[in-house]
Amino acid sequence: LQEDKVKVTFHLYDGRQLEAEGKVGDTLLDVVVNNDLDIDGYGACEGTVTCSTCHVVLTQEDFDRLPEEAGDEERDMLDLAYGLTDTSRLGCQITLTKDLNGLVVKIPEGVNDARITHTYGFRY
Ligand code: FES
ipTM, 2 decimals?
0.99
pLDDT (0 to 100) of residue 119: 44
pLDDT (0 to 100) of residue 122: 44
What is the atom index within ligand 1 of the atom nearest the CA of 74? 4
Q: Is 47 in the pocket of ligand 1 (CB under 6 A)?
A: yes
Question: How big is the chain by its Cα radius of gyration, in Å?
Answer: 14
Which residue type sits at 30? Answer: D
Q: Is 74 in the pocket of ligand 1 (CB under 6 A)?
A: no
Distance 98 CA to ligand 1 centre (A): 23
Q: Is 111 in the pocket of ligand 1 (CB under 6 A)?
A: no
pLDDT (0 to 100) of residue 58: 97
**Sheet with 55-57, side-by-side order of all strands:** 17-23, 5-12, 103-107, 55-57, 88-90
pLDDT (0 to 100) of residue 48: 96
Q: Whose CA is nearest to atom 4 of ligand 1?
A: 49
Residue 104: name the closest of 3, 19, 45 by CA: 19
CA gap 21, 36 in Å, rounded: 11
pLDDT (0 to 100) of residue 40: 87
Residue 105's DSSP bridge partners are: 10
Which segments in the chain show pLDDT lower than 50? Answer: 1, 118-124
